[in-house]
Amino acid sequence: MIGEYYCNYLLITGYVCERTCRRPEGCFEHWKAKPRIPCKVCGKPTSSEPGLCRKHASGYYVTQYINRLRDNARMAEILEEARMLEDAKLLEDARRLEEE
Ligand SMILES: [Zn+2]
Ligand SMILES: [Zn+2]
C-alpha cells in the first residue's frame, strides 16, 4: 500500500513526519492533529495559537496583558479628562446662573 501524499506534520523534534498517506491532511496518526508551526521566535515546533512556542507565547501573553493594562490606564485618563470637562461645564453653568 503506497500513499499518494506525504504527511507534512511537523514533529516536536523539528522534523517533518513524511510518512506516506492517502489523505492530503497527513498520515493516519496526524491527519486530525492540530498542525504544528515553527515558533516565530525560536523555530521550535508549536501548535499554540499565536504561532509561538510555550516559552515565547507566555511572553506574548504578557505583552497582551501589559497592552490591556495600558489601554485601561488610557481609558482611565480619558474618563478623568471627561470628568474634568464635565466639571468645567458645570462650573460654567453655575457661573452663568449666578450672572442671570
Ligand atoms: Zn504523520
Ligand atoms: Zn519560541
What integer pLDDT is reported at residue 2 of this predicted model? 61
SS (H, E, C) 30-65: CCCCCCCEECCCCCCEECCCCCCCHHHHHHHHHHHH
Specify if 39 maps to a domain.
no
- Pair 47, 32: CB distance under 8 Å: no
User: What cell numbers appear for 42 in the block?
Assistant: 525560536
Number of domains in the chain: 2
Whether residues 99 and 54 share a domain: the answer is yes
Looking at the structure, tell me whether residues 54 and 80 fall in a common domain.
yes
Q: pLDDT tens for residues 84-98?
A: 888 888 888 888 888
Instruction: Say which ligand is closest to the CA of 45.
Output: 2
Domain check: are 7 and 54 in the same one?
Answer: no
Prediction pTM value: 0.46
- Please name which ligand lies nearest the alpha carbon of 56: 2
Question: 53: CA distance to ligand 1 center in Å?
Answer: 20
Judge whether 38 lies within some domain. no
The bound ligand whose nearest atom lies closest to the alpha carbon of 57 is: 2
Q: Write out the residue range of the structural domain in which residue 80 sits.
A: 48-100
- How many angstroms separate the CA atoms of 26 and 47, rounded? 15
Mean pLDDT of 59-69: 85
What separation in Å is there between the alpha carbon of 48 and the centre of ligand 1? 18
Question: pLDDT tens, 6-53?
Answer: 999 988 888 999 999 988 889 999 988 888 888 888 988 888 777 888
| Cα–Cα distance measured from residue 70 to residue 92, given in angstroms and rounded to the nearest whole number | 33
Q: Would you state the pLDDT for residue 1?
A: 53
How far, in Å, is the centroid of ligand 1 from the Cα of 41? Answer: 24
Task: Decide if 40 is inside a domain.
Answer: no
Q: Is the pLDDT of residue 99 over 90?
A: no
